[in-house]
Amino acid sequence: MVWNRNFGSDIKTCQKCEIVLVKDTNWGGKKYICRPCDAEKSRLARLKKKQENPYGYVYVVFNPAWSEWYGVGKCDHNHEGRLAGYNVSSPLRDFRFLHLRQCDEPKILEDKVHEKLRKRTPISKKEWFMLDFKTIVDIIEETYEEEELNV
Ligand SMILES: [Zn+2]
């Protein structure tokens, strides 16, 4: 019977809603979960992560050994932990944050700020920029206002 051949013992169903899984239609073919349930699962996971970690920072980091350079990066709410990470690589433990901008979307803010900073100075290396401190802070604050306050 055709019906048996197609929908017989190897019928697969979603472990959440028990809908029949059809590969490349409602199912990606990996875990036994349909696309809508999988999307919902990811959405809840993102939400949970957000609630546990509601904000982060974009910071300016500085070390007196390279006094013309400022690092601009992002971290989650635990900025003390991030700074400790920098100081692991310094015998003098003398990295300092000179500016901390609390924000909801540190990754997006950091990307936009880096893009603007690269336009302002030809001298940069990854997240390090040779530029005056005030300009950097102005760019961070201005970008923060554009991104998170004027929505
Ligand atoms: Zn499902």
Using one digit for the tens of pLDDT, what is the confidence trace for 94-151?
A: 999 999 999 999 999 999 999 999 999 999 999 999 999 999 999 999 999 999 987 5
Q: Please report the pLDDT score of residue 1 as a whole number.
A: 37
Shared domain for 136 and 73, answered yes or no, is: yes
**Averaged pLDDT for residues 68-79:** 96
Structural domain contains residue 110: yes
Answer yes or no: do 39 and 61 share one domain.
Answer: no
2 has pLDDT over 90: no
Q: What's the structural domain count of the chain?
A: 2
Q: Are residues 96 and 82 in the same domain?
A: yes
Q: Is residue 31's pLDDT more than 80?
A: yes
Helix (H, G, I), strand (E, B) or coil at 56: strand
* Residues 83, 143 within the same domain: yes
151: Cα separation from own chain's centroid: 19
Residues 41 and 66 in one domain: no
Tokens representing residue 35 in the block: 């696309």
For ligand 1, the distance from its centroid to the CA atom of residue 21, given in whole angstroms, is 8
pLDDT at 53 over 90: no
Which range of residues forms the domain containing residue 25?
9-52
Is 97 part of a structural domain of the chain? yes
As a whole number, the mean pLDDT across the chain is 91
Indicate if 45 and 64 belong to the same structural domain: no
Is 140 among the domain residues?
Answer: yes
Orientation of helix 106-120 relative to helix 133-144, angle to 10°: 140
Q: What distance in angstroms lies between residue 90's CA and the mean position of ligand 1's atoms? A: 51
If asked whether residues 132 and 64 sit together in one domain, one would say yes
**Whether 29 and 64 share a structural domain:** no
The answer on 124 and 61 residing in a single domain is: yes
Same domain, residue pair 45 and 70: no
pLDDT at 9 over 90: no
Within-domain flag for 2: no
Distance in Å, CA 39 to ligand 1 centroid: 10
> What pLDDT score does 149 carry?
85
Q: How far apart, in whole angstroms, are the C-alpha atoms of residue 39 and residue 26? A: 11
> Given CA atoms 6, 10, 14, 19 in this order, what sign does their dihedral have?
positive
Place of tokens 């990754």: 107
- Neighbouring residues of the ion ligand 1, judged by CB less than 5 Å: 14, 16-17, 34, 37
- Return d(Cα 62, Cα 67) in angstroms, integer: 7
